């Protein structure tokens, strides 16, 4: 009798495990969640004011794996809210008139603690205005370039638990000035490529492959440079393809580039529509989520917004031309390449594009007319757009709740682990200016709260997510290995349960460098009782697909995401 009960119990357990296994690996992603259907009808998100004064403009922002956010702007924009005690040369800052002219007496970088909603000032040693950045595999932010003495600078910030860490300036320098350049972390051992910049038609690596390595000419940057429009190829869009090659988009053109052999692999068709997409036209771009179902081999890039032809010259004359409404999507892998075009609900430039935990794309901040530069734009874009990639053409965009705070030139936005979007910055003026201008310097800090965080979705939301590494491997998960993910759910999982990981970007000037989302394979999933569920998830197969480093893992159930937990992927 006992043996029969044992076999019966084992059989029931097997059936339950098989049920969860089916839901883990056998769902069809084309099912549209009820949450998606309600977005355009009533759930347009909410705005929260977090701080009235961050002290510095959020021109550049980056989320660290310590759940803090780095914000910084240009050191030459005037006194910030945080006076430092000593100058670079060691002399004391006294509050005199001379101090007001000395940028080393004021902090132009802060660390924002998400949980406590507090600010800590940091010291920058050179000007990072219009610089670029990438996170390394240990969570350190590598930050390069800028203005003046900062144009060849290499800076590091390694986040810490005691909040005593600060910026560290490297003794080494870049080969060329890098002002308005872009960064991308490559698959090879924390190697970063730095591309372009004002009057810099080259690329270089950090660290160098040899002591004598310099910069390399990139003819593509010469060809895409528009002398009469401020360049229009600055801050080029960079995306790492899953084969280890680098997609580079500048102005209206794009190439696939092999950084290991320094050669162009492929030239793509020009994106349609008259106008430009890169600085100072300043549209934005994302790489859409990569998916294990096609072995991460389908890589699709999206570019949205920008300025029309002649916008830069017109803005300098006080005329602000209507921006671009068009978006283009193109698969950059395979052999057939075509830009598939569609329109946003309205024109937009200076916009940020963020991939949300659901895999949808948020388009936020910016303006409707003009271009980037000092007071070169008008008509703030106050309403975010939500883009649903897998919907039918014509049904992909939704208009979300408007903010009351214009976020123009030098504004930024980043995704937080709890699912909110942090929004900061906006300063179209060459110094801190708070009155008698069209768009004053903006120091308020906001959070946009997407619809999926609403209380009505809590019963769908996975709770208490934990990452379980293999015994003795608490330092990370090797590429291709399996790791455990535990969470609590008060109902059975939906058919479209997902395990998504997200590489947090360095965000500035409408682009989010190194932003990347991957949908991972779930091998098995079983209930542990009391609503607890344990899943076995497969890490990305290689650094080409997911460069080593910290990623935010989110469990998404029926379109409702959990809070994210950090997972670190490391080289095998």
**If you write DSSP's letter for every residue of 304-356 in order, what string do you get?**
E--B-TTHHHHHHTT---B---EEEEEE-SSS----EEEE-SS--BS-EEEE-
Rg (CA), the chain: 24
Measuring CA to CA, which residue among 46, 29, 41 is closest to residue 398?
A: 41
Backbone angles phi, psi at 373, to 5 degrees: 125, 175
**Beta-carbon-side half-sphere exposure of residue 77 (alpha carbons within 13 Å):** 32
Measured distance CA(277)–CA(489) in Å, rounded = 43
Phi/psi of residue 99, each to 5°?
A: -60, -35
* 8: Cβ contacts below 8 Å, ≥ 6 apart: none
Q: Is the Cα dihedral 337, 342, 347, 348 positive or negative?
A: negative
Round to whole Å and give the CA distance between 59 and 128.
10
Contact criterion met (CB below 8 Å) for 64 and 414: no
3-state secondary structure string, 514-555?
Answer: CCEEEEECEEEEEEEECCEEEEEEECCCCCCCCCCEEEEEEE
φ/ψ region of 221 (left if φ > 0, alpha if ψ in -120 to 50, else beta) reads alpha
Structure tokens at 549: 């480093």
Secondary structure letter of residue 38 according to DSSP: H
Alpha-carbon distance of 111 to 160, in angstroms, equals 11
Place of tokens 């903010």: 403
State the pLDDT at residue 99: 67
Which pLDDT value is given to residue 100? 63
Q: What are the backbone dihedrals phi and psi of residue 328, each rounded to the nearest 5 degrees, phi first?
A: -125, 140
Instruction: List, as one string, the DSSP characters of 108-162.
Output: -EEEEETTTTEEEEE--SS--TT-EEEE-TTSPEEEE--SGGGTT-EEEE---SS
Q: Say which residue the tokens 């998916």 belong to.
A: 291
Residues forming a β-bridge with 203: 195, 216
51, 72, 385, 457, 508 from 48: Cα distances, Å? 9, 21, 18, 19, 22
For residue 17, what pLDDT is reported? Answer: 41
Give 117's contacts (C-beta < 8 A, 6+ positions apart): 50, 51
Closest C-alpha to 187, from 205, 166, 214, 213: 205
Instruction: Measure Cα distances from 481 to 23, 106, 223, 439, 474 in Å.
Output: 21, 47, 43, 51, 13
Closest by Cα among 178, 324, 179 to 251: 324
- Say how many CA atoms lie within 13 Å of 59 toward its Cβ: 28
Superfamily of domain 2-40+458-570: Immunoglobulins (2.60.40.10)
Is there a contact between 325 and 319 (Cβ–Cβ < 8 Å)?
no
C-alpha to C-alpha distance for 375 and 186, rounded to whole angstroms: 36
What's the confidence (pLDDT) of residue 88?
65
Sorted by where each begins, the domain ranges of the chain are 2-40+458-570
186 close to 160: Cβ distance less than 8 angstroms: no
DSSP β-ladder status, 352-355 and 326-331: unpaired
Residue 533: per-residue pLDDT: 95
Residue 261: count other Cβ atoms within 10 Å of its Cβ. 8
pLDDT tens string, the chain, 572 residues long: the values are 444 444 443 434 433 344 344 345 433 233 233 333 334 445 799 999 999 999 999 999 999 999 999 999 999 888 888 888 777 666 788 767 766 666 778 899 999 999 999 999 999 999 999 999 999 999 999 999 999 999 999 999 999 999 899 999 999 999 999 999 999 999 998 999 999 999 999 999 999 989 899 999 999 999 999 999 999 999 999 999 999 999 999 999 999 999 999 999 999 999 998 999 999 999 999 999 999 999 999 999 999 999 999 999 999 999 999 999 999 999 999 999 999 999 999 999 999 999 999 999 999 999 999 999 999 999 999 999 999 999 999 999 999 999 999 999 999 999 999 999 999 999 999 999 999 999 999 999 999 999 999 999 999 999 999 999 887 777 899 999 999 999 999 888 888 899 999 999 999 999 999 999 999 999 999 988 889 999 999 999 999 999 999 999 999 999 999 999 999 999 97
pLDDT at 343: 98
Residue 24 φ then ψ, to 5°: -80, -40
The pLDDT value recorded for residue 27 is: 31
Tokens 């530069």, residue?
A: 373
Measured CA to CA, the distance from residue 400 to residue 183 in angstroms comes to 31
């Amino acid at each position: 009798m006992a043996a029969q009960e044992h076999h019966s119990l084992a059989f029931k357990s097997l059936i339950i495990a098989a049920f969860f296994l089916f839901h883990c690996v056998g769902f069809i992603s084309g099912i549209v969640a009820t949450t998606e259907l309600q977005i355009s009808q009533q759930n347009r998100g909410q705005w929260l004011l977090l701080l009235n004064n961050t002290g510095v403009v959020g021109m550049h922002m980056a989320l660290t794996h310590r759940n803090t956010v780095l914000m910084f702007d240009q050191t030459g924009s005037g006194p910030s809210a945080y006076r430092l005690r000593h100058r670079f040369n060691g002399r004391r800052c006294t509050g005199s008139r001379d101090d007001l002219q000395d940028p080393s007496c004021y902090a132009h970088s802060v660390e924002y603690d998400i949980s406590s909603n507090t600010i800590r000032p940091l010291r920058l040693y050179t000007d990072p205005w219009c610089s670029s950045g990438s996170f390394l595999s240990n969570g350190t932010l590598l930050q390069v370039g800028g203005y003046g003495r900062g144009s060849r600078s290499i800076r590091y910030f390694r986040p810490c638990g005691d909040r005593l860490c600060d910026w560290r300036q490297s003794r080494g320098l870049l080969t060329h000035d890098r002002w308005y350049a872009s960064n991308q972390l490559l698959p090879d051992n924390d190697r970063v490529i730095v591309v372009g910049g004002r009057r810099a038609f080259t690329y270089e690596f950090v660290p160098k492959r040899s002591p004598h390595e310099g910069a390399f000419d990139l003819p593509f940057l010469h060809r895409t440079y528009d002398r009469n429009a401020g360049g229009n190829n600055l801050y080029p869009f960079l995306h790492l393809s899953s084969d280890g090659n680098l997609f580079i988009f500048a102005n209206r053109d794009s190439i696939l580039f092999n950084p290991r052999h320094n050669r162009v692999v492929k030239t793509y068709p020009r994106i349609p529509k008259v106008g430009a997409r890169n600085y100072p036209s300043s549209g934005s771009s994302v790489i859409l989520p990569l998916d294990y179902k096609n072995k991460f081999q389908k890589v699709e890039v999206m570019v949205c917004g920008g300025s029309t032809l002649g916008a830069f010259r017109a803005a300098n004359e006080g005329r602000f031309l209507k921006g671009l409404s068009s978006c283009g999507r193109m698969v950059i892998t395979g052999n057939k390449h075509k830009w598939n075009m569609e329109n946003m609900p309205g024109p937009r430039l200076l916009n940020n594009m963020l991939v949300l935990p659901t895999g949808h794309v948020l388009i936020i901040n910016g303006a409707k007319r003009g271009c980037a530069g000092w007071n070169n734009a008008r008509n703030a874009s106050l309403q975010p757009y939500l883009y649903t990639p897998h919907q039918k053409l014509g049904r992909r965009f939704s208009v979300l709740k408007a903010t009351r705070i214009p976020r123009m030139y030098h504004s930024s936005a980043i995704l937080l682990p709890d699912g909110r979007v942090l929004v900061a910055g906006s300063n179209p003026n060459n110094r801190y200016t708070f009155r008698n201008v069209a768009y004053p310097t903006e120091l308020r800090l906001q959070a946009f709260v997407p619809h999926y965080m609403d209380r009505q979705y809590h019963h769908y939301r996975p709770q208490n997510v934990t990452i379980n590494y293999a015994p003795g491997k608490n330092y990370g998960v090797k590429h291709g290995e399996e790791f455990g993910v535990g969470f609590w759910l008060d109902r059975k999982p939906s058919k479209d349960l997902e395990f998504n990981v997200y590489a947090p970007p360095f965000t500035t000037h409408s682009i989010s460098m190194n932003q990347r989302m991957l949908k991972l394979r779930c091998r098995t999933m079983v209930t542990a009782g009391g609503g607890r569920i344990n899943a076995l998830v497969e890490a990305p197969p290689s650094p080409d697909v997911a460069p080593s480093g910290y990623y935010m893992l989110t469990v998404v159930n029926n379109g409702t995401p959990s809070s994210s937990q950090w997972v670190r992927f490391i080289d095998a």
